[in-house]
């Protein structure tokens, strides 16, 4: 399984628009991996997770063509993950594909429906198929086994995901604060081994977060300890920190040593990992 992190920032990006904070000024000056765009991930070039306004820029930057990607999975409907307006361009008068093109399958909680069903061309697009997933029920999404876990986040029905290709399994914790009890129980009771965990590190290296809808590094370390105790992860599991915000400490790529010294990988835009 190959995982490519196309965008690794929270909603404002780093540097953020309209911002003069220290993190943003440092990122502007340093450039390179210190620049983070809005959140999107691609698995094996064929399962796309989330579709922010920066999706078009990611298509250009990484040499992608969304006409070649059939499966789209959404975590939740905040705008840094869900920008449905661009799906209008799937309409066959606006995006041109061969007559035997398979179309597109879009998955998420019921929250994804209103924005996609109200697109200007949605009534004319039988090749844009919407599928709702139920929490804790594993579904086949483009050949991957995908299990939604309820997240603790500021939208009606946000999901984190367990995603497996039958050989490798990842735990994708975006976006969420401290997990709801039902999700933590599901993880502990089902005892799966994860080859990679991508953690919501919006709080950066804070020891404590005042808001509940994201995690900080201290909380992440506690989850890692628990997951290790329960044998959900081991020393071979890749621990990725992701979804950084300029409002938190140690969130620029130049700060990565803070995390790497403790065995974590700090994601950056374009990072590709292969799980063998
Ligand atoms: Zn987000
Ligand atoms: Zn800033
Ligand atoms: Zn969010």
Q: Is the pLDDT of residue 209 over 90?
A: no
Distance from the CA of 190 to the center of ligand 2, in angstroms? 40
The enclosing domain of 13 has a CATH number of 3.60.15.10
pLDDT tens column, 78-109: 999 999 999 999 999 999 999 999 999 999 99
**What pLDDT score does 211 carry?**
77
Across residues 197-213, what is the average pLDDT? 92
**What pLDDT score does 35 carry?**
98
Q: Which domain holds residue 116?
A: 2-274
Distance from the CA of 5 to the center of ligand 2, in angstroms? 21
pLDDT tens column, 98-140: 999 999 999 999 999 999 999 999 989 999 999 999 999 999 9
Distance from the CA of 100 to the center of ligand 3, in angstroms? 36
Give the closest ligand to the alpha carbon of residue 247: 2
* pLDDT grade for 208, boundaries at 50, 70 and 90: confident
Q: What are phi and psi of 186, to 5 degrees?
A: -60, -45
**What pLDDT score does 191 carry?**
78
**Distance between CA atoms of 12 and 248, rounded to whole angstroms?**
12
> How many domains does the chain fold into?
1
**What pLDDT score does 212 carry?**
85
**Distance between CA atoms of 96 and 105, rounded to whole angstroms?**
17
Distance from the CA of 153 to the center of ligand 3, in angstroms? 7
What value does the mean pLDDT of the chain take? 97
Q: What are phi and psi of 175, to 5 degrees?
A: -85, 145
Strand partners, 141: 144
Distance from the CA of 129 to the center of ligand 1, in angstroms? 24
pLDDT tens column, 23-32: 999 999 999 9
Distance from the CA of 200 to the center of ligand 1, in angstroms? 9
Give the closest ligand to the alpha carbon of residue 52: 1
**What pLDDT score does 210 carry?**
77
Distance from the CA of 21 to the center of ligand 2, in angstroms? 4
Distance from the CA of 108 to the center of ligand 2, in angstroms? 30
Distance from the CA of 154 to the center of ligand 3, in angstroms? 7
Lowest-confidence range among 64-68, 145-149, 187-191? 187-191
209 to 39, 205, 217, 245: CA distances (angstroms)? 21, 10, 9, 13
Helices (H) and strands (E) in the chain — how many of each? 6, 14
Give the closest ligand to the alpha carbon of residue 243: 1
160 to 66, 98, 207, 215: CA distances (angstroms)? 23, 34, 23, 13
Percent of the chain with pLDDT over 70: 100
**What pLDDT score does 250 carry?**
98
């Amino acid at each position: 399984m190959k995982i490519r992190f196309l965008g690794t920032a929270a909603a404002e990006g780093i540097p953020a628009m309209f911002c003069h904070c220290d993190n943003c000024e440092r990122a502007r000056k340093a450039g390179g991996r210190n620049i983070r765009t809005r959140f999107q991930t691609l698995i094996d070039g064929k399962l796309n997770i989330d579709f922010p306004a920066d999706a078009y820029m990611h298509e250009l930057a990484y040499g992608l063509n969304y006409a070649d990607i059939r499966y789209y999975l959404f975590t939740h409907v905040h705008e840094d993950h869900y920008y449905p307006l661009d799906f209008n361009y799937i309409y066959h008068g606006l995006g041109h594909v061969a007559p035997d093109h398979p179309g597109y399958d879009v998955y998420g909680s019921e929250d994804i429906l209103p924005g996609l069903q109200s697109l200007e061309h949605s009534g004319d697009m039988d090749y844009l198929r919407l599928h709702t997933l139920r929490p804790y029920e594993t579904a086949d999404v483009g050949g991957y086994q995908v299990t939604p876990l309820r997240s603790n986040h500021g939208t009606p029905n946000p999901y984190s995901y367990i995603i497996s290709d039958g050989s490798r399994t990842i735990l994708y914790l975006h976006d969420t604060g401290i997990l709801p009890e039902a999700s933590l129980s599901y993880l502990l009771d089902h005892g799966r081994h994860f080859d990679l965990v991508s953690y919501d590190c919006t709080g950066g290296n804070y020891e404590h977060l005042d808001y509940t809808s994201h995690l900080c590094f201290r909380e992440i370390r506690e989850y890692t300890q628990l997951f290790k105790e329960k044998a959900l992860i081991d020393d071979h599991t890749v621990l990725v920190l992701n979804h950084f915000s300029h409002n938190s400490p140690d969130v620029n790529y130049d700060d990565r040593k803070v995390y790497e010294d403790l065995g974590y990988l700090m994601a950056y835009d374009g990072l590709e990992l292969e799980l063998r």
